[in-house]
Amino acid sequence: MSERRFKALFLDFYGTVAAGDVEAVESVCQQVVTDFKLDMSAAELTVAWGNRFFRMIETCNHDGFKTLHECECESLIETLKPLVGDVDPNPYADRLYAYWCDPHLHTEAAAAIASIDLPICCVSNADTDHLLAAIEKHSLRFDAILSSEDARCYKPEPAIFAKACEMMNVQPAEVLHVGDSLHSDIEGAQNFGIQAAWICRDRRIHDVGKAHPDYQISRLDEIPALLSKLS
């Protein structure tokens, strides 16, 4: 029997295994618009807040690391300050935090993960406690779990992929990474020498990426066939 091409699978979580937070963010933004009587739509606020949030996590790595919850709060404060002055972001960020702890899984996710005959490391831009809560809630099997909080950096930073390789005792060329973000997942993995499969789901708020994935799938249950084809 020939040696396997890949010795481990890295799997993004939110947007890939679990549904992304599009609906949760839109609902929170609608509440903000209503509470402060903003002269903008919830959709416009979603984009404005999202742009600040994604710029922030690009700079909050290593010694300057901030948790996802901190980034959500600070970016919302910055977004609203020129519109309504200082606000308390916690009631709104806490609603997102509750979603992250108990997200809806994509329908095929649990069975697909169970069917993959490779060690799997969940590599997620997430705070540790809400990621662990979500995984435990849905009784998912991962051989290792790495949050951005544990790595002290966010994808696409190479250090988070390096840490995952160390945890799984593999080299970058021995890994396939699967995620839904062209910027965070695909570009980040490829820049570290890891091949990447883009799972193209229907709805995303924002993706600044322009990377070209090595492979493309639409559901997690396509992974076993892809791995078989590539072996």
> Please, which pLDDT band fits residue 100 given cuts at 50, 70 and 90?
very high
Tens of pLDDT along 164-211? Answer: 999 999 999 999 999 999 999 999 999 999 999 999 976 554 555 688
As a three-state string, the secondary structure of the chain is CCCCCCCEEEECCECCCECCCHHHHHHHHHHHHHHHCCCCCHHHHHHHHHHHHHHHHHHCCHHHCCCHHHHHHHHHHHHHHHHHCCCCCHHHHHHHHHHHHCCCECCCHHHHHHHCCCCEEEEECCCHHHHHHHHHHCCCCCCEEEEHHHHCCCCCCHHHHHHHHHHHCCCHHHEEEEECCHHHHHHHHHHCCCEEEEECCCCCCCCCCCCCCCEEECCHHHHHHHHHHHC
pTM of the full structure = 0.93
- The domain limits of the chain are 8-19+103-230, 22-101
Instruction: Please identify, in words, the CATH class of the domain defined by 8-19+103-230.
Output: alpha beta
The pLDDT tens digits of the residues spanning 115-151 come to 999 999 999 999 999 999 999 999 999 999 999 999 9
With 50 as the cut, is the pLDDT of residue 1 above it? Answer: no
CATH assignment of 22-101? 1.10.150.240
Is pLDDT above 50 for 223? yes
